[in-house]
């Protein structure tokens, strides 16, 4: 341990905390947007309409077949171009906005499969009972099916959120300063890159491992 000097980490903590805030912000927004879009895609895949099911299936298969790094880079370059094509004028889009769109679009494909599996795990007789009570399909889904499905799939949603928390480190490719990028930059400034990367890895491990223990606890609690 004589080769390592971690004394420079404490003075750099404010900058590292700002990077962690960026990481958490991307994760939270990505999860919220991904779950919302993923739920819509899941309902489309479960729809009796063949073209809606095929469209949602093509979306899911496409985004699950390409690396997230490519999606981040592509949206960083493509979003300003698309907005210019729609509005007819240049609209500056920052790295944060493009990364947020990329995470939502990419994670929606995975959340879609989680939600679809959760909905399919609910006995079909409950939908029939809801319709017998005079509920529409939308009411039955919103009031009966989805609440039970989300209870069952909460551990899986949290597990995917942990994966997204780790994947946010890929935003370094577009120059966004997240926790890992802040750690690397702070280490480069004082010539202690190894120490800062070790510290960053320890922080990622503690957060991810603690969240994994929470997932296991929820799996036991929500088990039916």
pLDDT confidence of residue 31: 94
pLDDT tens sequence across 51-67? 999 999 999 999 999 99
pLDDT confidence of residue 90: 67
* Domain membership flag for residue 3: no
Domain total of the chain: 1
Side-chain half-sphere of 189: how many Cα atoms within 13 Å?
11
pLDDT confidence of residue 120: 87
* Domain membership flag for residue 2: no
- Going by C-alpha positions, the residue among 164, 184, 165, 188 that lies closest to residue 175 is 184
The CATH number for 184's domain is 1.10.3720.10
Task: Give the C-alpha separation, 125 to 127, whole Å.
Answer: 5
Would you say 43 and 145 are in contact if contact means Cβ atoms under 8 Å apart? Answer: no
* Domain membership flag for residue 31: yes
The mean pLDDT value for 161-190 works out to 89
The residue whose two tokens read 């979003």 is 79
pTM reported for the whole predicted model: 0.86
- 3-state SS of the chain is CCCCCCCCHHHHHHHHHHHHHHHHHHHHHHHHHHHHHHHHHHHHHCCCCHHHHHHHHHHHHHHCCCCHHHHHHHHHHHHHHHHHHHHCCCCCCCHHHHHHHHHHHHHHHHHHHHHHHHHHCCCHHHHHHHHHCCCCHHHHHHHHHHHHHHHHHHHHHHHHHHHHHHHHHHHHHHCCCCHHHHHHHHHHHHCCHHHHHHHHHHHHHHHHHHHHHHHHHHHHHCCC
The residue whose two tokens read 């006995």 is 123
* Domain membership flag for residue 173: yes
The mean pLDDT value for 184-207 works out to 89
Task: Give the C-alpha separation, 158 to 147, whole Å.
Answer: 16
**Cα dihedral across residues 78, 81, 85, 90: positive or negative:** positive
* Domain membership flag for residue 136: yes
pLDDT confidence of residue 92: 67
* Domain membership flag for residue 61: yes
The mean pLDDT value for 171-183 works out to 89
* Domain membership flag for residue 128: yes
pLDDT higher than threshold 60 for residue 2: no
pLDDT confidence of residue 136: 81
pLDDT confidence of residue 58: 94
- Non-local (6+) Cβ contacts of 191 within 8 A are none
Task: Give the C-alpha separation, 65 to 170, whole Å.
Answer: 17
Would you say 20 and 204 are in contact if contact means Cβ atoms under 8 Å apart? Answer: no
The parent domain of residue 169 ranges over 9-221
* Domain membership flag for residue 19: yes
Average pLDDT across the chain, whole number: 86
pLDDT higher than threshold 90 for residue 151: no
């Amino acid at each position: 341990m004589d080769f390592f000097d971690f004394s420079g980490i404490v003075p750099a903590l404010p900058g590292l905390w700002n990077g962690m805030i960026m990481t958490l912000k991307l994760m939270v927004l990505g999860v919220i947007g991904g779950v919302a879009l993923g739920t819509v895609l899941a309902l489309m895949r479960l729809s009796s309409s063949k073209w809606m099911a095929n469209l949602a299936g093509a979306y899911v298969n496409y985004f699950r077949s390409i690396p997230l790094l490519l999606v981040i880079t592509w949206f960083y370059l493509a979003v300003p171009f698309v907005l210019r094509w729609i509005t007819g004028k240049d609209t500056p889009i920052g790295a944060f906005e493009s990364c947020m769109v990329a995470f939502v679009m990419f994670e929606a494909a995975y959340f879609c499969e989680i939600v679809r599996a959760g909905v399919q795990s609910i006995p079909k007789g409950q939908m029939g009972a809801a319709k017998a009570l005079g509920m529409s399909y939308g009411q039955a889904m919103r009031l009966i099916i989805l609440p039970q499905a989300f209870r069952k799939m909460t551990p899986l949603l949290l597990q995917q959120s942990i994966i997204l928390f780790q994947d946010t480190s890929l935003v370094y490719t577009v120059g966004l300063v997240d926790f890992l990028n802040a750690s690397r930059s702070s280490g480069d400034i004082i010539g202690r890159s190894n120490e800062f990367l070790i510290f960053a890895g320890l922080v990622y491990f503690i957060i991810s491992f603690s969240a994994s223990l929470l997932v296991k606890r929820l799996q036991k609690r929500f088990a039916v």
